[in-house]
Amino acid sequence: MKLGFIGLGVMGAPMAAHLVAAGHDVSGFDVHTAAGEKLQAAGGRAAADVADAVARAEVVITMLPNHPQVEAVALGEGGVLAAAAPGTLLIDMSTIRPETSIEVANLARDKEIRVLDAPVSGGQAGAEQAALSIMVGGSEEDFDTAKPLFEALGKTIVHVGPHGAGQVVKAANQLVVGGIYGLVAEAIVLLEASGVDAATGLDVLAGGLAGSRILELKRKSMVDRQFAPGFRIDLHHKDMGIALAAARQADVALPLTGLVAQLVAAGRAMGYGSLDHSALLKVVEQLSGR
Ligand code: NAD
């Protein structure tokens, strides 16, 4: 397939490379030109701008930080809706608020451009190992078209409902992930303050009912205070905002999510926004004066 790929960052770069490896003709664009050069080295093509990446594409994938970038790339001058041919499928894999996904889909319909929201979970490692979980909102027919592409990127691939539903599932994912990081951080602080070796303690937790993918993959780096991203606190702050806004929209109370959102906001305010979200440990430590 001829693909356009916009946003070649931590996640987009390895995802685009997997699509090249699966035999697709990938034209990629990122505002950081070095990212396009890396794609070219991996066998893709570095496009000059969004319109150039989209011009020949049957499917366009976007993997951008947040909704303003998705709006600019999808709806802006020289963007996907302006430059793509009728019949093109636009798959936004960024994590953004559900209402933007719905708005883009509605505006695209007039141009006969089909849209899916397909955010992912699994982090940088999941992107690099083509082991992402992909939660997809949109029509069944468009999901079926996109499925072979998703299979080159992930392992758990589920159509979860209409436009915006993928983003709601991702918001639910992010509140669970934030909560687990917060609690693992509290466990480490308690263990260390009590004179118990945290690495040993967490090894036991990982094998019992408290076990989780986060404990499995991140307990060593957390105990060793290795906080290179990964997934930045700034991005998780964005996602907690999406989760709380979705809760308001659905008229439900999510008290623990509110608390975790404040921990993440504190991490940003303390200057840790560009560290990995596991750096919530630094916030929890500082709350105890450690
Ligand atoms: P990133 O900042 O590393 O990558 C985003 C890329 O988009 C950057 O390279 C940036 O230069 C590019 N970009 C920004 N505006 C652009 C524009 N107008 N045109 C072209 N390129 C543009 O972010 P990331 O970590 O790859 O995350 C991307 C999305 O995936 C976010 O929504 C994030 O929440 C989500 N996500 C990230 C992870 C993770 O572990 N990093 C995991 C799951 C989901």
Band (243; pLDDT cuts 50, 70, 90): very high
* pLDDT score of 1: 97
Residue for token pair 């509110």: 258
100, 70 Cβ separation under 8 angstroms? yes
At 197 the pLDDT is 98
* Each residue's pLDDT tens digit, 48-61: 999 999 999 999 99
**Mutation test residue for ligand 1: of 8, 31, 181, the one with most atoms within 8 Å of CB:** 31
List, in sequence order, every beta strand (DSSP E) within 79-234: 89-92, 114-117, 120-121, 132-137, 154-161
Residues forming CATH 3.40.50.720 domain(s) in the chain:
2-162
Residue 194 burial (CB count, 10 A): 9
At 137, is the secondary structure helix, strand, or coil?
Answer: strand
User: Where does 2-162 sit in CATH, by number?
Assistant: 3.40.50.720
Q: In the chain, list all ranges with CATH 1.10.1040.10.
A: 168-287
How many whole angstroms separate alpha carbon 38 and alpha carbon 192?
42
* ipTM attached to this prediction: 0.99
Burial class (CB in 10 A: 0-12, 13-18, 19+), 246: buried
When pLDDT is averaged across residues 202-218 and rounded to a whole number, the result is 96
Residues flanking ligand 1, CB < 6 Å: 6-12, 29-32, 35, 63-65, 69, 72-73, 94-95, 120-121, 123-124, 230-231, 235
Atom index in ligand 1 nearest the CA of residue 235 equals: 34
Predicted local confidence at residue 178, as pLDDT:
98
The percent of residues in the chain predicted with pLDDT above 90, rounded, is 99
CATH architecture of the domain covering 168-287? Orthogonal Bundle (1.10)
